Amino acid sequence: MKNLPCPILLIFVLSVGLILANGERAKTFADEAEQKAFKALKEKMMDQKTGLPNTLDPSLIKGKDREGYQIAKEIPEILARIPCFCGCEAVGHESLLDCFVDEHAVG
């Protein structure tokens, strides 16, 4: 009876490890789906003259965020050279400009 807690503890630790591993796998699949969706959107929004994606129309944005979208529309070549630090690379963003292709930069 003294050895009983060790197998139970081992089973518990292995179970927790499997649960965490499966959670990461599900997250990876979701990230891949989001990346594909964003890539398709970005290709659709691409400006053939500049080779950069067009930003979302600022008139579609409400409140203070509209000003950010207006500025992004005016200086896309600058934003394309600035990395974003919000973690959105997980959905396929390559620069700060990508945050303004959809509603990602709102709020």
Q: Encode pLDDT of 42-94 as tens digits.
A: 888 899 999 999 999 999 999 999 999 999 999 999 999 999 887 887 788 88
Reduce the DSSP state of residue 82 to 3 states and report it. Answer: coil
How much is the pLDDT for 88? 80
Mean pLDDT, rounded, of the chain:
79
Distance CA(68)–CA(45), nearest Å, equals: 18
Residue 92 near residue 39 (C-beta atoms within 8 A) = yes
Amino acid 31 reads: D
Residue 60 near residue 91 (C-beta atoms within 8 A) = no
